Amino acid sequence: MADSNFPGWHGTTIIGVRKGDEVVIAGDGQVSLGQTVIKGSARKVRRLSPGGHAVVAGFAGSTADAFTLLERLEKKLEATPGQLQRASVELAKDWRTDKHLQKLEAMLIVTDGRELYVITGAGDVLEPEHGIAAIGSGGMYALAAARALIDGEHDAETIARRAMAIAADICVYTNGNLTVERISR
């Protein structure tokens, strides 16, 4: 675990919502150190295009660690074009077994518009139920809100934005400054 003298990083809420032929990943912009907001406009959702195949990824946790994982994921996707599941499993295996990667503190939500996964350092590649995935300190608030909205008339982006607004109202480590990326099947 982290050094007890260090106040620790908190923050980030990332949500992925699949509805119809569309998947949206949204993330807030807040970065906190202890009780202090360091930055309110961080961009934690990225569009990747390895080998011409579009993938959207959102991350929670240490930014440097997340960038390391995103770079690794891009390499895996280049080696297995159009196979997000395979690339995600390969990344999770490396993350779990490589002694340097094991220390990385981050989580990812990834999608290619067809598949939606949460990738963790425990070696998990999770396909969420109900087409909704959420991570980060406000993730469970956003997940609950999106689950309540998913069967209504709203599209994926509206659901993601409303769920993030609810999480930002509840979680002090989440703000309403969103980055939203949309991808279709």
Task: Give the active site residues.
Answer: 12
β strands within the chain, DSSP E: 9-10, 13-19, 22-27, 31-33, 36-39, 45-48, 55-61, 106-111, 116-119, 125-126, 132-136, 179-184
**Count of alpha carbons within 13 angstroms of residue 142, beta-carbon side:** 32
DSSP state of 171: -
Nearest Cα to Cα of residue 125 among 103, 149, 95: 95
**Can you say whether residue 65 is alpha, beta or left, with left for phi > 0 and alpha for psi between -120 and 50 degrees?**
alpha
DSSP state of 144: H
